[in-house]
Structure 1
Amino acid sequence: MSRRAHGQIRSSQVITTYGPGALIDMPKHSAIVGGLETWPKTSDLQEILEPRLTSWLQMMTGVVAPQLFAPPPDSNDPREAARGIGAWRFPEWFIVQEAIGGEERERSRRLVHRKALDDRGRIDGRQVVATRFVRACPKGHVDDLDWRRFVHGADTCLRQLWLDERGTSGDLADLVVRCECGKSRGLYEATVLETNPLGTCWGTRPWLGRNSHEDCQLPSRLLIRTASNAYFPQVVSVLSLPDRGTSVEAAVAELWDDLQIVDDTSGLSFIKRKPKVAERLAPFRDSEVVDAIRAAKTGRTTDRPVKHVELDALLAAPEGFGDDVPINHDFHARRLPDHTWRRAARSDGIEAVVQLHRLREVLALTGFTRLEAVTPDINGEYETDVERAEIALEPRWFPAVENRGEGLFLQLRTEAVKSWLQRPPVTRRLEDLTRGHERWMTGRKAQRPFPGGPYVLLHTLSHLLIQSLSMRCGYPASSIRERIYAHWEGKRFGLLLYTGSPDAEGTLGGLVE
C-alpha cells in the first residue's frame, strides 16, 4: 500500500458511498477502500458524541461501548503530513489497452496479472487498465476472477489469455475469454449460477489486508466493479435530542475505559476516587451506575426504538415561532400556533406543524453487503442477525458524520389516517402492494413485514411535499430527506422533511421559511 495520496472524496461519502470495502476508481488506479485499521489513530481523529446512537450500535453489533469518529479531514497546509484513509490496489488482473484488430468489429486484448507489469505499471511499454469483472458473494467477499479456471476448468494451462470483443455493445454476450491453447468460453456463462462457473467463494476480504480470509461455502457470482450492486452500506442515523448526554448510559459510555473493570458498588467507589469519574457520575445513584455497566457488558438495552424517542421530542416542542434564543444548538424546535396555518386548504388531516430551526443528525457506518441490499424496518433498524461484512478486523469504533440543518415536521390526525385507510380504492391498492411485497420477499434471508398503509400514506405525501418544497425554497429535491414515523402501537403518525450539511454552520436556510 503506497503512502502517497491518490485521490479525494467528501467526508460524507466515506459513510454512504466509499466506505471500507467499497470499490473505487482513482485517477491512476483502481482500488478497494481499506478497513478501519488503515485509518489514522483514533487519537488523531475527531470523536463524535451521540450516546443514543452508540447504545443502538452496541445492541445491533455487539461491540461494547463503541465510539464514533469522523473521517480524517484533508489539510490545506502542504507542510503537514498527509492524513487519509488507506486503500489496496484491486483487482490484480488487467487488460492491455492496445487492442489487436481481427475481423470487422472484433478486438482482442491481453489479460495480464499484476506480477507481469513493470515498475511503471505497464507491460511491453503498453498501458493497462484494471478489468471491470470480479467475483463476489452475498457475504461481501470479493476477489479476482480465476480466469484460467474459468476457461480451462481443472487444467493448469499457463499460456496467454485474451479477452475478445465480438461486437460494439460491450455486453457480456459479446465477450469471450480465450487462451492461446485454443480453449475459449463466453463471459456470459459466468452468470449461469446453476453450473457454478466461478467456483466456491474463497472468503477473501482484501479491504482488511492481502491475507484476510474467512470460511465461506457460497458460490461466487460475477460482479461488475462499477455496478450499483457492488456496495450497499448499512448506515444508521439518529437525531440529537435535548436530553442528549444526561442519561446514566451516556455517562457510562463516556467513562468506559475506567468503568469496564467495575463489577459492583465497592469497585465503583474505588474508581470514583478519580475526580473526573466522581464529577460525571454525581447525578446518579451507585446502584443504577452498576446496572448500566452490567448492561453495557452484556449488550442488554432497555432503550425504546430511536424513532419513538425522536417522535416524543418532536411532539413535545413548545409553541412559538423560533425567534427566541436557542438553548440547545443541536435541537431547536417550535410548534406553530394553530391559527397561523389551520385555515389553509386541506389542513383538516393535520394535527400539528413543528418547525425545526436547528437539528443535528449523526450517521454511522456499521458494515455493508454486496449483490443484495438489506433494508431496515420502518424504524430504521436492522435485524441483529443480519450478515454484514465487517469494516474492521476487530471493530471497536465506527466511522460517522454529523449533519446540521433545519426541517419541517407534520403530525397527522389519527382519525384522518384511519378514515383514509377505509376508502375502497385505498384498500384495494394496499392489497396489491401487500401481495407485491410478499413476492419481492420470497427467497430473501431478511424477512420484513409489509410496512403498512400509514407508511405508504406518509411516504407518498412526503415525496409530493419534497417536490413542492424544492420549487419554493430552492433546494434540489435530492437534498431534502424524509424521516417517517408510522407507529400503529401509539396511534401516532408524522413525517419530518429536513436538509443538512456536514458544515459546522449547517445549511443556508430557507426550508423552514
Structure 2
Amino acid sequence: MKYELRANQLIGAGGVGAIVDIGDESFVVCDTTQWGTPSQDISHPRMEQRLRRRLCPPPAATRESRGAVPLKRFPGSLFCNRPACRRIILRWDEKKHGSPDGKPKCPFCGHEGSLVPMRFVAACRNGHLSDVPWNRWVSHKKDTCYSQPQLKLEVKNSGTGGLEALSIHCLGCNESRHMGSITAQDSMKRIGARCPGHHPWIWDQNASCNEELEVLQRGATNLYYPVTASALSLEAELQDETDFEAIKATGEFGLLQTMYAAVASQGNFLPPHIEQMIEHVATEHNVSTDEIRELLLGGADGPTDPKTNEVAWNEAEVLAEEWSFLKSDQAAHCRREDFVCKESDLPRFRGKSPFDRVLLIERLREVRAFLGFRRIEPSALEVSPEAGGSFAGTRAWLPAVEIFGEGIFLSFDEDWVADWERRLAQYPEEMVRIGALENVRSAESFWFLPAIDARRIAIHTLAHLLMRQLVFESGYSSSALRERIYSGPGMAGLLIYTADGDSEGSLGGLVRQGQPKRLADTILLALDKATWCSADPVCSETAGQGLGGFNKAACHACCLVPETSCTTANTLLDRTLLLGTGGLPGLLGDLV
C-alpha cells in the first residue's frame, strides 16, 4: 500500500520514529537509512557547515525519485472493531492476516470486521518503542495461554467510562484484567516487562536497555519530541566564508593542536587552559569555539560532539548572525534570489516610535532540517534520524525542506528597551519570579527553550498578539504564520513570516500590512485586544500556566497560537510585561 505524507510533516511532528495515523490505520516512520539514496541536495552553506551533513529533501513517490519513505505498521497489536468480536491479534502478519485491499481484516469473524490498532504503546527514555505486552498483562491460570493466547478486548457499558471500563480477557483461562492502572509509571515493572531495546522497524537488532518502560497513548504529546534546526537563507551566508585552511596553518593553532592531542589521547577532559586557548583562537579568527574543536578533530565542515556523535546546533548563534544582517545597511535594499526586502518608514504613535527599523521582506527562504527525536520527557536521550544505523555508499545526510515566503521584520529601539528594563528592575518581586522561571528551565532540561528574561517574554508576547491580529488583516490562516524572536544583549526584535510550503506563502498580503499606517493600526488593535482577556481575571492572576508553568497572563483566549507557529511551544508569554498593570511598567504600555 502507498500513502501520502507532507514533506513538512516529515521534518517535524511526523518525522523518524513518529506514529502517524492514516485513516483507521497506524504506522511508525522508519529511519533515514531505509529511505534510499537522496537524488538532490538543499543548498544552505551555513547550516551544512554547522551540522556537518548534507541536507536533502525527503524522497517523493514519483517515477523520477529513487525511493519513498518506508512505514512500519505499528502498533502490531490490533483488535477487531466489531462489538460482537473484539478479538486481539498480538502481532499483525501481512502474509498471514492480509486481505485483498491491503487493510487488516479480522480472521476470527470471517473478515467482516476491520482490525484497528490498540490505544496504548510502550516507550522508554532511550527512544525505544514497542507494543504493550498484553499477554503478560493478564494473570493467566494456564501455561498454554502464554504460548497460544486468545485475548479479547471487553468494554463495559456501565460505570464511569474510564480505563476501568476496558479490560483484557483471556478466553483460554477465563481471566481478565482492566486497564485502570495501565498508565501508572511502574505498570510494566510490576508485570516484569522490560524494554526490548529496539525500534519497531528493527526487530532483529535488540540491544540491552536498562530504562523502564512506560505506557502512553498513541497520540500522547510526550511520546514524541522532534528536534529540528531552522535558518533563513540570507545574503551574509554567501559572503566572508571562513578559510579554515588558513586557520590550521597558523602557529597558534599548531600549538593548540599539539596540546589537545596529548590530552585527548589519555581520554581526559580538557583542562581550563586549553579551553581558554580554544576561545582565544576562535575570537581571533571570528569563528565559534565549536568550529575550532571540529578542526582539532580533523574536520572542517562544522561541529559535532565526538562522544555522542550528535549534531551540535547552536540556535542562538544562528539568530545572532541573522540579526547582524537584518540590521546592516545591506538589508535596507536587498534584492537576491532568496531574499528581497526594503526598509519602510517607522510606525509612529503620538509622534514617537518604539522601533528603529522595519523591513518589508517580499521574499525569503527558510531551510528546516530534522535532527532527531526524544521520548517521554524533553531531557531524554536524543535519537538521530538514522537511529544508530549507517548510510550505505553515501555521505551522512539529514532530511530537510526549503520554504519560500514573505515577512515583516521589526527591530526595537535599544534605548527604549533599556529604559523599560531599568524601570522594571525597581520591582524586585517580578525580577525574582522571572529568575525562578530560568531556574526551572535549567533544572528540568527544557532544551528547546532559550534563556528566559523579561525582554524575551515581552517581545515574544508581542509576536503572538501580532500574528493573531494579522490573521484578520492579511488573509493568511493562523497556521500559515510563524515567528522568529531576536532577543539578547544588543538584540531586540521579531520577524513574522509565512511558513507554509505551498503557494499560500507568497500572496503578498503580509508585506502589505507592514506599510507604516497599516502596521501602526495593527499594533494598536493587537495591544487593545490584549488589555482584556475573556478568561480574566483568572488568566491575568494565574501565577503560572501552560507547559512548565512558564506563562503568566497568557491563554488560548488571548495569546496562544498554533503550535507550528511558535518556536517555544507556546511558552514564555505574559501580557503584563508587554502592557503593564498595577504600576508594573510594560514594554509598550505607553502606547495603549
Change (3 A) 1:27 1:136: same
Identify unmatched segments of 5+ residues in structure 1. Answer: 58-64, 101-107, 253-287, 375-385
SS at match of 1:411: strand
Query: Normalized against structure 2, the TM-score is what?
Result: 0.65
From 72, 77, 82, the equivalent of 1:93 is: 77
Deviations 1:23-52 (A, max 9, x none): 12234642211111221312x2x2101121
1:367 equivalent to 2:372? Answer yes
Q: Does the CA contact (< 8 Å) of 2:78 and 2:118 recur in 1?
A: yes
Mapped to 1, the partners of 2:351 and 2:378 lie a distance apart of 38
Mapped to 1, the partners of 2:141 and 2:336 lie a distance apart of 67
Mapped to 2, the partners of 1:37 and 1:410 lie a distance apart of 42
Q: Which residue of the partner structure matches residue 90 of structure 2? A: 113
Q: Which residue of the partner structure matches residue 19 of structure 1? A: 15
Mapped to 1, the partners of 2:139 and 2:390 lie a distance apart of 39
**What is the CA distance between 1:361 and its match in structure 2?**
0.6
Mapped to 2, the partners of 1:144 and 1:129 lie a distance apart of 14
Mapped to 2, the partners of 1:132 and 1:302 lie a distance apart of 35
Mapped to 1, the partners of 2:302 and 2:330 lie a distance apart of 38
**What is the CA distance between 1:414 and its match in structure 2?**
2.1
Q: Does the CA contact (< 8 Å) of 1:149 and 1:155 recur in 2?
A: no
Q: Does the CA contact (< 8 Å) of 1:317 and 1:354 recur in 2?
A: no
From 169, 173, 197, the equivalent of 2:164 is: 173
**What is the CA distance between 1:213 and its match in structure 2?**
3.1
Q: Which residue of the partner structure matches residue 481 of structure 2? A: 480
1:278-357 matches, within 5 Å, as: 294-296=298-300, 299=303, 305-318=317-330, 327-336=335-344, 340-345=345-350, 347-357=352-362
Mapped to 1, the partners of 2:174 and 2:231 lie a distance apart of 59
1:54 equivalent to 2:54? Answer no
Aligned-residue RMSD, C-alpha: 3.5
Mapped to 2, the partners of 1:334 and 1:251 lie a distance apart of 34
Mapped to 2, the partners of 1:219 and 1:463 lie a distance apart of 39
Query: Normalized against structure 1, the TM-score is what?
Result: 0.75
Mapped to 2, the partners of 1:466 and 1:218 lie a distance apart of 41
Mapped to 2, the partners of 1:11 and 1:350 lie a distance apart of 37
Q: Does the CA contact (< 8 Å) of 2:50 and 2:302 recur in 1?
A: no
**What is the CA distance between 1:250 and its match in structure 2?**
9.3
Mapped to 2, the partners of 1:25 and 1:335 lie a distance apart of 45
Q: Which amino acid aligns with 2:185?
A: L
Q: Which amino acid aligns with 1:88?
A: K
Mapped to 1, the partners of 2:166 and 2:418 lie a distance apart of 56
**What is the CA distance between 1:138 and its match in structure 2?**
2.2
Deviations 1:414-447 (A, max 9, x none): 2322332323797644543443564576555859
* Most deviating of 409-418 and 110-119: 110-119
Mapped to 1, the partners of 2:300 and 2:66 lie a distance apart of 36
From 121, 136, 143, the equivalent of 2:123 is: 136
Q: Which amino acid aligns with 2:203?
A: R
Q: Which residue of the partner structure matches residue 251 of structure 2? A: none
**What is the CA distance between 1:13 and its match in structure 2?**
1.0
Q: Which residue of the partner structure matches residue 238 of structure 1? A: 231
Deviations 1:387-426 (A, max 9, x none): 2122211361100001111111111122322332323797
SS at match of 1:190: coil
Q: Does the CA contact (< 8 Å) of 2:42 and 2:56 recur in 1?
A: yes
* Most deviating of 182-191 and 393-402: 182-191
Mapped to 1, the partners of 2:331 and 2:401 lie a distance apart of 31
Q: Does the CA contact (< 8 Å) of 1:206 and 1:212 recur in 2?
A: no
Q: Which amino acid aligns with 1:19?
A: G
Mapped to 2, the partners of 1:154 and 1:205 lie a distance apart of 32
Mapped to 2, the partners of 1:451 and 1:154 lie a distance apart of 56
Change (3 A) 1:170 1:436: farther
Q: Which has the higher strand share?
A: 1
Q: Does the CA contact (< 8 Å) of 2:80 and 2:86 recur in 1?
A: yes
**What is the CA distance between 1:345 and its match in structure 2?**
4.2
**What is the CA distance between 1:312 and its match in structure 2?**
0.3
Q: Which amino acid aligns with 1:192?
A: A
Q: Which amino acid aligns with 1:112?
A: I
Q: Does the CA contact (< 8 Å) of 1:190 and 1:221 recur in 2?
A: no
Change (3 A) 1:347 1:51: farther
Q: Which amino acid aligns with 1:174?
A: A
1:355-434 matches, within 5 Å, as: 355-373=360-378, 387-392=381-386, 393-394=389-390, 396-421=396-421, 422-423=423-424, 428-434=429-435
Change (3 A) 1:142 1:291: closer
1:151 equivalent to 2:163? Answer no
SS at match of 1:84: coil
SS at match of 2:385: coil
Change (3 A) 1:415 1:243: closer
Mapped to 1, the partners of 2:196 and 2:397 lie a distance apart of 27
Residues paired across the two proteins, number: 434
Deviations 1:90-123 (A, max 9, x none): 22111122223xxxxxxx7222223675332431
Q: Which residue of the partner structure matches residue 460 of structure 2? A: 459
Q: Which amino acid aligns with 1:314?
A: L
Q: Does the CA contact (< 8 Å) of 1:143 and 1:206 recur in 2?
A: yes
Mapped to 2, the partners of 1:416 and 1:227 lie a distance apart of 43
**What is the CA distance between 1:481 and its match in structure 2?**
0.9
Change (3 A) 1:189 1:319: closer
Mapped to 1, the partners of 2:130 and 2:331 lie a distance apart of 57
Q: Does the CA contact (< 8 Å) of 1:317 and 1:333 recur in 2?
A: no
Mapped to 2, the partners of 1:224 and 1:302 lie a distance apart of 31
From 174, 185, 194, the equivalent of 1:193 is: 185
Q: Which amino acid aligns with 2:482?
A: R
Q: Which residue of the partner structure matches residue 271 of structure 1? A: none
**What is the CA distance between 1:363 and its match in structure 2?**
0.2
**What is the CA distance between 1:296 and its match in structure 2?**
2.7
Q: Does the CA contact (< 8 Å) of 2:378 and 2:445 recur in 1?
A: no
Mapped to 1, the partners of 2:350 and 2:107 lie a distance apart of 71
Change (3 A) 1:154 1:454: farther
Q: Which residue of the partner structure matches residue 39 of structure 1? A: 35
Mapped to 2, the partners of 1:247 and 1:154 lie a distance apart of 74
Change (3 A) 1:190 1:502: same
Mapped to 2, the partners of 1:498 and 1:447 lie a distance apart of 21
Mapped to 1, the partners of 2:331 and 2:398 lie a distance apart of 37
Mapped to 2, the partners of 1:298 and 1:334 lie a distance apart of 32
SS at match of 1:409: strand
Deviations 1:265-300 (A, max 9, x none): xxxxxxxxxxxxxxxxxxxxxxx9x96993437837
